[in-house]
């Protein structure tokens, strides 16, 4: 069986920063209220003329370059998103057009905030079975277009952005060591886009209870599946939704704060883009290095969850 890993990373966030104090001017909230409940300080919001595909394209170009590849080397494009530009064509097809690689298969995958993990696992299978060599996996979201900006319970949480990786064969012992995917459709009612308003609707307490239970359990599960112990984990890259949820996963793994990504403070919750954005940021910060054991874990609407244990490197 081939070893499959990440050989290139890229990310993009819009220039426009919206702080907690900015939001306090339009809804009944405050910087202190938001920080104490979520850990979020600010988020990036895309302009009206920038959509999910535009951010996906920019992140993809960076990931391909980081992998020392050319667009024509990409054999499959997978985009995880809950906020596509259109019902169809897919964001993946729009990325394909922009990259100039006609006939390369391209598809979107929707598992809400867990989407990027689902897409990584999907791409892994195609490489392991010798179907494709290089798979481009993107998480891109413009959640600002499905958020009710008068609802302080949701508008303070989300931001826009994109992250991308290239999956390829890596050397023995490196790459994705194990994974877990799951879903519980009975909880779908707790986090959804309302058909009447087209806005995100969330039962915050139920989602919180689900997340603080599922994220640590799934993280520990993939570590065990990889034949490792939690003491072997060097860094945790969780879905960036809420600092209290992140802390719960960190404590179960017994990790110091310096070994956990907390980009939620600057990006907010970017849904399927949050994990690749965090991954890119921590690599840039020098916190993820060759040979490190990384746990990636996410949860989202569906309700869905997914995690991977990766030994970093090519």
Catalytic residues: 113, 239, 269
User: Distance between CA atoms of 125 and 123, rounded to whole angstroms?
Assistant: 5
C-beta of residue 209 within 8 angstroms of C-beta of residue 161: no
Q: What is the DSSP letter of 83?
A: S
Phi-psi region of 291 (alpha: psi -120 to 50; beta: other; left: phi over 0): left
Could you give phi then psi for residue 96, rounded to 5 degrees? -55, -45
User: Distance between CA atoms of 86 and 67, rounded to whole angstroms?
Assistant: 29
Could you give phi then psi for residue 246, rounded to 5 degrees? -60, -45
Question: Read out DSSP for 198-242?
Answer: -SEEE-HHHHHHHHHHHHHHHHHHHHHHTT--GGG--EEEE--S-
Instruction: State the chain's maximal CA–CA distance in angstroms.
Output: 56
User: Distance between CA atoms of 122 and 105, rounded to whole angstroms?
Assistant: 14
Strand pairing category for 235-238 and 42-44 = unpaired
Closest CA to 132 of 168, 157, 164, 158: 168
Q: What is the H or E stretch that residue 99 is in?
A: helix 91-99
User: Distance between CA atoms of 152 and 255, rounded to whole angstroms?
Assistant: 32
C-beta of residue 175 within 8 angstroms of C-beta of residue 310: yes
Examine residue 89 and say whether the peptide bond preceding it is cis (omega within 30 degrees of 0): yes
């Amino acid at each position: 069986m081939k070893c499959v890993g990440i050989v290139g990373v890229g990310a993009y966030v819009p220039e426009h920063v919206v702080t907690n104090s900015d939001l306090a001017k339009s809804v009944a909230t405050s910087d202190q209220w938001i920080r104490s409940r979520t850990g979020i300080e600010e988020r990036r919001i895309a302009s009206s003329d920038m959509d999910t595909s535009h951010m996906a394209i920019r992140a993809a170009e960076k990931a391909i370059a980081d992998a020392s590849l050319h667009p024509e080397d990409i054999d499959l494009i997978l985009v995880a998103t809950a906020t596509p530009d259109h019902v169809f064509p897919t964001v993946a097809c729009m990325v394909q057009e922009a990259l100039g690689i006609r006939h390369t298969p391209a598809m979107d995958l929707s598992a809400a905030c867990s989407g990027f993990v689902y897409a990584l696992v999907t791409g892994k299978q195609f490489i392991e079975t010798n179907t494709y060599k290089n798979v481009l996996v993107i998480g891109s979201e413009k959640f600002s277009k499905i958020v009710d900006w008068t609802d302080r319970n949701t508008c303070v949480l989300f931001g826009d952005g994109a992250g991308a990786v290239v999956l390829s064969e890596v050397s023995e012992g490196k790459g994705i060591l194990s994974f877990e995917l799951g879903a519980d459709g009975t909880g779908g009612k707790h986090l959804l886009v309302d058909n009447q308003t087209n806005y995100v609707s969330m039962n915050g307490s139920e989602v919180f209870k689900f997340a603080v239970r599922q994220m640590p359990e799934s993280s520990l599960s993939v570590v065990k599946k990889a034949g490792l112990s939690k003491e072997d984990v060097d860094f945790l890259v969780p879905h960036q939704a809420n600092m209290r949820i992140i802390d719960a996963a960190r404590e179960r793994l017994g990790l110091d704060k310096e070994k956990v990504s907390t980009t939620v403070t600057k990006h907010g919750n970017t849904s399927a883009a949050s994990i690749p954005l965090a991954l890119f940021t921590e690599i840039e910060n020098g916190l993820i290095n060759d040979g490190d054991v990384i746990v990636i874990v996410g949860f989202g609407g569906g309700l869905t969850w997914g995690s991977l244990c990766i030994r970093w490197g090519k």
